[in-house]
Amino acid sequence: MSDNVRVRYAPSPTGNPHIGNIRTAMFNWLFARRHDGQFIVRVEDTDQGRITEGAVDHILDGLEWLGIDWDEGPRVGGPYGPYFQSERLERYNAAAEQLVASGKAYRCYCTPERVAELRKEQARNKQRQGYDSHCRFLTGEEREEKESQGLSWVVRFAMPQSGVTSVEDVIRGHVEWQNELTDDFVLVKSDGFPTYHMAVVVDDHAMDISHVLRAEEWLPSTPRHVQLFRALDLPMPRFGHLPMILGSDRAKLSKRHGATSLMEYRDDGFVPEALINFMALLGWSLDGETDVMTVDTIREHFTLERVGKPAAIFDLDKLQWMNGMYLRQLDVSDLADRIRPFLESAYPADLLPIDREYLLRITPLVQERIKTLAEAPEMLSYFFDDTLEYDPDSLVQRGMDTPSTMALLRRAADDLGKVDPADFGHEHLEGLLRATGQELELSGRQFFGALRTAITGRTATPPLFEMMEVMGAERVTQRLAAAVANLSSH
């Protein structure tokens, strides 16, 4: 094991990566960057039945999207490759043979039916379930007999049957397990593929991994790995198990808590800056208080000492709040550029292409309110789509009727039509229309309420005069005329 920090993220390509999964990747990455070490991605694809098409790309694209770069692994290569376990089978077989030759592992000829029957019986008798080491104690003759019958076999590890196995976990401290509680687990399956336990130990050594930082769900596998390292006579990496992530009801995190795959967060309009900040706080803290930090700050201060043991709570409201905060901090042009693809994929072709200049003028009007980019198409639709859908009655404000509303809309259109395009700024418009409102003896609520509905179809919008300025005289007067037409045909 080198003194240098070398850590790995070892995803199984079985689907879209989840937040817990990516949190593991990120903590490894932060640890490597903090210590000027290497961050390695290794694809654990030996469970052929569970692999899903495209999963590796989803995982790698997700890391790239977040700005998590890796020093070795798929797409970049490296001196310890290949980085796909399915391309490293001979290494696992060699290790398994070495263990069998030294008596630390053995071929087991039990049929899957026998093993299943055994488990059932153990369950009936309320005994601990596991393999009963039957083939471990076959005589030489019995073994030859099985071989000559050409029976298929798996390789099992001869687990010590007494004593304890312990580790000093860098996060959890001293942890120990009774060996008798771990059965003789499989190292090589009947199809010749290694199990996770075999492959992970061989590769963590072969890739010179200094620290195995992974989710707490792997803690129970650790005594197996420790025993395997010993049996193979290999130096041991340090182990650190990251705290679990629970929903706000303290139940295991699931879709129900709004936790989805990484790419769904992207599609839901979350920005990488917010997700990085949010995920960093799932188990780590800077000082127990500070919530909002840039990735640079996190990278500079990340230590395993500040990773806690207690489960982290996933709070979707907090993520949403944080996302809104990051959106508010962006430059207008950056925010506009991030909003644009959401509009492009949501709007019909006749509203496209989106005019960049126009979008740049709209963006500041919503920057304070927007929480996710995915809200933009709905939030901004009336800036682009001239066919507003609203109930004409909603134009008629309290204390008014249809004729007086039509009159006020006509008058406003008339006033605005006379404004020199160079003067179509919000201050000028406000002065002009306030005067008209007074002249018509209307309250602000009545006059501006009717105008707002006519121009946007809605009651809650950004400031009226600023919107008018951005939309321009032509669009605004057309909408006022359309509102009048709506009321007259009503």
Footprint of ligand GLU (CB under 6 A)? 10-12, 44, 200, 214, 218
By DSSP bridging, strand 105-108 and strand 154-157 are antiparallel
Separation of alpha carbons 62 and 322, rounded Å: 19
Q: How far is the CB of 24 from ligand GLU (least distance, A)?
A: 7
Nearest to 244 by CA among 213, 214, 216, 220: 216
Taking the CA atoms of the chain, what radius of gyration do you get in angstroms? Answer: 32
Q: Which long-range contacts (CB under 8 A, 24 or more apart) does 349-356 make?
A: 351/384, 351/385, 354/384
Nearest to 198 by CA among 175, 229, 167: 229
Residue 255 annotated to the active site: yes
With contact defined as beta carbons under 8 Å apart, do 194 and 187 qualify?
A: yes
Q: How far is the CB of 10 from ligand GLU (least distance, A)?
A: 4
With contact defined as beta carbons under 8 Å apart, do 119 and 147 qualify?
A: no
- Cα separation values, 219 from 31, 42, 94, Å: 19, 19, 26
Beta bridge partners, 308, equal none
Q: Which long-range contacts (CB under 8 A, 24 or more apart) does 55-63 make?
A: 55/13, 55/14, 55/15, 55/16, 56/13, 58/15, 58/16, 58/17, 58/261, 58/262, 58/263, 59/11, 59/13, 59/17, 61/263, 62/17, 62/22, 62/262, 62/263, 62/266, 63/22, 63/25
Which of 104, 146, 255, 418 is catalytic? The answer is 255
Nearest to 449 by CA among 412, 486, 481, 482: 412
Nearest to 35 by CA among 348, 222, 304: 304
Closest CB to ligand GLU among residues 283, 457: 283
Sheet architecture: strand order including 186-188: 105-108, 154-157, 186-188
Q: Which two tokens stand for residue 189?
A: 């399956």
**How many alpha carbons fall within 13 Å on the CB side of residue 186?**
18
Q: How far is the CB of 177 from ligand GLU (least distance, A)?
A: 17
Separation of alpha carbons 87 and 208, rounded Å: 18
Nearest to 152 by CA among 189, 190, 113, 184: 190
Max Cα distance, the chain (Å) = 111
- Cα separation values, 324 from 273, 321, 366, Å: 11, 5, 11
Query: Which amino acids are annotated catalytic?
Result: 255
